[in-house]
Amino acid sequence: MPSRRHFLHTCTATAAAATLPNLASHAADAPKPFSFILLGDLHYDSLSHHDMKWLDAHHGGDLSQIQNYSRLTAEVMPGMFAAIKQRIASLRDSAAPPAFVLQVGDLVEGLCGSAELSARQNREALAFVTQADLGLPFVFTKGNHDVTGDGAKEAFDEVLLPFMAKEARILDSTATHTQANHTLTFGDSQFAFFDAYDKTSLEWLEAVAAKRTAKHLFVTIHPPVVPYGARATWHLYAGEKLKAQRTKLLDILGQQQAMVLGGHLHKFSALTRNAGGKSFSQLAVSSVVSSLNQKPKDIRHGLATYTGDQINLEPKHSPDTATQRREIYATERKEVTSFEYADTAGFAVITVNGPHVEASVYSGSASDPFQTLKISV
């Protein structure tokens, strides 16, 4: 017969051992680190996508940019996507393997002139993405160029929206949507894709925030929420009549300590801003790459550079609004707590590891990032 002490020791050991599988199960259920590729504006284009008579009559001043985007699509974009594919391959065996590619809007140039040409442009852009064989789901938000021009909105709904839904469901089987505003959850992160061109989006985001349970909230919005660079009037809800909407958006993002991902200005910028009693971060990238071996220029580092002097980065842009843009910076500067900027294009790798989120930003097809920074707040 075992002694009482031996019996109690055996019972204690057995009870402790019985709890080990549960502990192991909880450890196995803990979200694993992951990464994703962040792409800025692409403006996929070809001259054959445009009704030139319509363009001349309605957007004649945009012909030169269409010619440039068409050239970059043919000559530079394939090399850029090859570099991204190589970066994805290098990350597959890392501690935070890549899960998807996220693009921030203006996938296409738009301005085609008809629903038929717009649909063709969209299909060819998606074919290019598919044929690039990145090996990851490709998710994106709506940009202004994606729905600009006669028939563009209809073509977006016909071609791009179903692709959005299909790719989102690969990552999150519960992700169902029939509009550009949608969410998906991956690991310990929720991604809210905000349609900046739908009047109901702010209320939608408020509802998403109210039901949030994920550790991290990423909000993908094509135009900036917080201005940066020379074009300080190009942020969301910039008009005086939209002041209440902007305040509400800022408060939601701050209270949620969100990470905003965007583009629109074709520059790199990272900042943090106080709002709603807390703070949020904003990261903007561009993928309109003019040269694979480009180097960053006009670099601005630190809060001391977040001033109205940013308007001098593009001295020819809207001289009649110079005073207004300086005043915007004077107001925003009171709440912005960190700031980075550079004129460059490429892509970023975002790494999510527990409470820490980091962005490594690449210029062109460079093998090493020109800047790595924390974006979690």
Domains, the chain, ordered by start? 31-350+364-374 (3.60.21.10)
Q: What is the pLDDT of residues 8-18, one digit of tens each?
A: 444 444 333 33
What confidence score (pLDDT) does residue 8 get? Answer: 40
What confidence score (pLDDT) does residue 20 get? Answer: 35
Q: What is the pLDDT of residues 304-356, one digit of tens each?
A: 999 999 999 999 999 999 999 999 999 999 999 999 999 999 999 999 999 99
Q: Is the pLDDT of residue 27 over 60?
A: no
| H helix or E strand, kind and range, residue 274 | strand 268-275
Could you tell me which residues come within 8 angstroms of residue 84 by beta carbon, excluding any fewer than 6 positions away? 37, 39, 101, 132, 134, 347
Between helices 77-91 and 63-75, what is the axis angle to 10°?
Answer: 50
What confidence score (pLDDT) does residue 360 get? Answer: 98
Q: Which residue has the tokens 């002041």?
A: 243
What confidence score (pLDDT) does residue 351 get? Answer: 98
Span between the terminal Cα atoms of the chain, in Å: 61
SS3 311: helix
φ and ψ of 179, to 5 deg:
-145, 170
- Contact between 66 and 111 under an 8 Å Cβ cutoff? The reply is yes
Q: What is the pLDDT of residues 162-175, one digit of tens each?
A: 999 999 999 999 88
Q: What is the pLDDT of residues 214-263, one digit of tens each?
A: 999 999 999 999 999 999 999 999 999 999 999 999 999 999 999 999 99
For the chain, what is the mean pLDDT? 93
What confidence score (pLDDT) does residue 24 get? Answer: 36
Q: What is the pLDDT of residues 259-282, one digit of tens each?
A: 999 999 999 999 999 999 999 999
SS3 18: helix
Could you tell me which residues come within 8 angstroms of residue 146 by beta carbon, excluding any fewer than 6 positions away? 105, 106, 107, 108, 110, 152, 156, 160
